[in-house]
Amino acid sequence: MTAVESLLGPLAVDRLGVTYIHEHIFIVSPELQWYWPGYAGWDEEEAVARGQRELTRIHDRYGCDTVVDVTVPGIGRNLRAVARAAAGTGVNVIAATGWYIYDELPFVLSKKPEAEKVALLTELFVGEARDGIEGTGWRPGLIKCATDAGGVSPDVEAVLRACARAHLETGLPLTTHTYAAARVGLEQQRVFREEGVALDRVIIGHSNEAADLDYLAELMDAGSFVGFDRLGYPPPDRDGVAPSEAQLDNLAALIARGYGDRLVVSHDDAVFSDVRSREVLGRGDEIYGYVHETALPGLRERGVGEPEIRALLVDNPRRYFAGA
């Protein structure tokens, strides 16, 4: 790929600049807002204004050029509102296709035979890449899927296989949600490999929560990028999950071990979400700040140099989208 689709049209990969590789600007659950308008305080005009302020702030303060919004069906995509929030901010926004489930698809899809289910999902994802999302003409720049602590259920596997096949047909790279403590990234790689995916076109997401560096090394040795893309997100209090400071230790250690060209960073945060509260995340109006305000200074204190930091934010996102 020499260019990636954004909400402003094709964007040359060498113009991505400083990139937050895994964010959600708005998570707006359609059924909640359809049947109970305003649930959790959703007000589109207010949210768009907040989004414009925050995107402008990260562009002006941190030099952030690109935000990859990986909100897909299953977790409340609302691209029309996102496009309004991004307008005039100086930030490129890249959207995603795919589906986000932990267990079962909606019944109308889940009940279908496996082969038909995978074929239908593939058609949906390829259709968005070819024709645009929800009739808007905006095309996705990547494909998103999820596997959590419950592992690869039949419907999760169908989504993984459909995303892989859509990738092979469109060339769009893959990114995933995982629960790192359960090492489900290896299962995702297994399915992608079976489908013929080159694993260097895949980010195994939320890997910063893993306490096991050998697990992360195994993912990268197989070719994938791993996402330290939930930095600053309060880690779940479960065995095998690294606390926030340890995550920075681990990131610095992996760079020192020679994996600096396979790592990307982000927040996994949202200006508005009706599935998780700002109180839980402990954020105010300034949403995307941890990477530049805390993580990067922490890496410098741990001896990580500026070329390695540039790789996390600029070079590796470019290589991921370029497919090199």
Single pTM value for the model: 0.96
Structure tokens at 251: 């990131």
Using alpha carbons only, give the angle 290, 60, 227 rounded to the nearest 5 degrees: 35
Residue 237 binned pLDDT confidence (cut-offs 50, 70, 90): confident
pLDDT at 80: 97
Residue 324 confidence (pLDDT) above 80: no
DSSP three-state, residue 19: strand
What single string gives the DSSP state of each residue in 179-243?
A: -GGGTHHHHHHHHHHHTT--GGGEEETTGGGBS-HHHHHHHHHTT-EEEE--TTS---SSTTB--
Burial 130-151 (b: 16+ CB within 10 A, else e): eebbeeeebbbbbbbbbbbeee
* Beta pairing partners, 19: 66
Asked whether the beta carbons of 181 and 210 are under 8 A apart, the reply is yes
pLDDT at 151: 96
Alpha-carbon distance of 36 to 21, in angstroms, equals 32
Q: What percent of the chain has pLDDT over 90?
A: 91
**What is the arithmetic mean of pLDDT over 243-267?**
97
**pLDDT at residue 287, as a whole number:** 92
The answer regarding whether domain 17-322 maps to CATH 3.20.20.140 reads: yes
